[in-house]
Chain A
Amino acid sequence: MSEIEHSEEHIKKHVRVYISVFVALMALTVVTVAASYLQLNTFGTIALALFIASIKASLVICYFMHLISEKKLVLIVLLFTTIFFLGLIFLSLLAYFDPVVYKNVA
């Protein structure tokens, strides 16, 4: 990153962002625990919990890990990692739950 980008003023602005992200993360943790006490159906509970976790994860990765201002190369690597990760999850799930249909051939 260039020198100008990381001037003192700039860093101080960053610090304010970090603190608000921190507050948001704390709040979302409380929200996710509270939400688990709601009497939703199974799908709703899982979807809501994962949704909140994803928001928290994006906050950490974008601001604490600076991905939001990261170079293109890193983003490309992570994009492919995500694709392969999703492939691993969903293709193996599909292989499990694609039923074999037994037809009586004879």
Chain B
Amino acid sequence: MSFLSYLINGISLGSIYAIIALGYTMVYGIAKMLNFAHGDVIMVGAYVCFFAVTRFSLPPVVGVLLAMVVCTLLGMLIERLAYKPLRSAPSLAVLITAIGMSYFLQNSAQLLWTSNPKVFSSVVGNGALKLFDGQLSISYVTIVTIIICFAIIALLLFIVQNTKMGKAMRACSEDKGAAMLMGINVNTTISFTFAIGSALAAIAGVLLCSAYPTLMPTTGSLPGIKAFTAAVFGGIGSIPGAFLGGILLGVIEIFAKAYISTQLSDAIVFAVLILVLVIKPTGLLGHEIHEKV
């Protein structure tokens, strides 16, 4: 029974990684950059929800929606101010800017909200589902997290495959120049991608802090890095890849904690990542990149 419980917890943690990884992978797919500030947008989302619920006594659902709105605007603002001016700059300059933006957000959060940890109260409620005469107990947060993750993936795949904006995103990810010649506004498409990724970051932030209720300015940092790893693991640029990579990373992490060593769990996760990349450098579901001559 404990195996099943670990598996479900792993999938739940993995769902959070997957939701964050989607933001990395979509932005990478379309803007061809690694937005290392993405993890810190998660933290901002969690703070917004926290204050909405505790300070202003708003219902949790409103808190989540508010967090999504704030993060969407923040993500678009970051793109507009920090990344757009570097559209034709070398990728190293963009990467450094992204890391700088990450520290800027963390330090701003520290100034605004201090570095004292806040105790986040779950937006889902603290109960648990008991199965098999109480031998298996799954918390509601775990269940809700998994359901939300699957719903998000389904929605995103629908948007990307079937909507006009989604097709524009795919066109931009393949060839921005050709996309412009189709009449696609590439800047709007990139901005839209940041908006979606950041709204997802808000959801991930709230779910993360509902499961692990300590909220600090650095809260988004490690999950952000791990989700980035998950995106690479699954094949960066691929939406199903981010999903698969996230879930696998979560399951491996929880199993490593349960059966091998809590201290070593992160090392094991990254060792698996390295192994996968040695065997399949494009990640599990990644596309081979053909250099055009």
Whether A and B are associated in the same complex: the answer reads no
Binding site for A on B (CB under 8 A): none
Binding site for B on A (CB under 8 A): none
